[in-house]
Amino acid sequence: MPRVVGCDPGTSGLDLVLLDAGRVVDQASFDASRLNGDPDAFARQLRAWMPIDLVAGPSGYGVPLVTAAELTDDHLDQMTLVRPDERGHEVGVGGFRRRVRELVATGLPAVFLPGGIHLPTIPAHRKANAIDLGTPDKVCVAALALYQHRQQTDVPYAQARFAVVEVGSAFTAVLVIEGGQLVDAAAGSRGPLGVRSGGAWDGEAAYWLAPLSKNDLFRGGMRDLGELGPPAFGESLRKQVAGLKAVTPFARIYLSGVHQALALGWLEDLATVAPLSSLPGARVKHAAQGAALVADGLAGGPHGDLVESLALRSATGRMDAYLAYRRPLASIGKPPDGIASAP
């Protein structure tokens, strides 16, 4: 039976969970200050847990199941999604590239996971002009919810239908599961307002404020809005959940994330709302737990049917594949043809 690790590279830190034969045997949490002060902490923890059969590594915006041995600079650019003009600065999730390189340097078997945009289970028309349909960590939260739903209801994966609302330290995501598959999502900077992020951007605002920094995506949320924040957050979430439900009806919502309590009162009359349970013995964030279940399934462990239900092995494409106005990733951050750079 495999011995695997799941990672959650969250905005506020890094969580790890170790599964052996499908059961939690150890876990670790590192806040951002500790990671910055002790850059080897991540790799040192992994080495302490060896032997390890597979690590589901930090995956950012995702790639279609790329192993550490296959990882290229282009894959890393896709996972970080930072324009060339901002690379080398602490933008987005600080230290993300460094931690990916640390994992690769350990020589451990590792895989980087897909986001919703890569999954064939979300219809192509729902991907139009989108990048974030649930980053890999959100897909892993959905994996944990699907597993727990079967444990608690005895409903087979193929018949599972529900939504997951994840309220993280920065972003909010809503993911819809139908037939045991991720079929729709509103997440990140195209989803509901978050604790730190403004959610879906008004294109005119983006134009007016341009050029934007990656860090601008981590602003404008509930904490920045003062007394307007709570009702703006609640109504934004409620509208997104109700809109997704109008397309794919569901009767149950699982709540996840460090700020999940903020969502409860806004959703209770839309569906049966319940907190997402953790794996026995686990205390780290749900995304790390779900990533460990995925790693176990990919490594041939008892959760292989979970991986198959979510069609993770069938993930394909690039995170920018559905942009109608797409430019090559290498050109992002440069002015379009025919537009001169500002003096």
* pLDDT average, residue stretch 193-204: 96
Task: Write down the residue that tokens 């964030």 correspond to.
Answer: 285
Q: How far is CA 258 from the centre of its chain?
A: 14
Does 185 have pLDDT greater than 60?
yes
Interval 119-140 mean pLDDT: 97
Mean pLDDT of 109-114: 98
* 340: pLDDT strictly greater than 80: no
pTM for this predicted structure: 0.93
Q: Are 200 and 320 in contact (CB under 8 A)?
A: no
C-alpha to C-alpha distances, 69 to 109, 111, 137, 242, nearest whole angstrom: 8, 9, 21, 42
Q: What is the mean pLDDT of residues 155-180?
A: 97
Q: What is the mean pLDDT of residues 74-78?
A: 94
Within 132-191, residue ranges assigned H as helices are: 136-153
- Position 196 pLDDT exceeds 50: yes
pLDDT in tens, 317-339: 999 999 998 665 554 444 434 33
Cα(294)–Cα(308) distance, rounded to whole angstroms? 10
| DSSP secondary structure string for all residues of 98-139 | HHHHHHHHTT--EEE---GGG-TTS-GGGGTT-S-SS-HHHH
User: Hey, where are the domains in the chain?
Assistant: 3-331
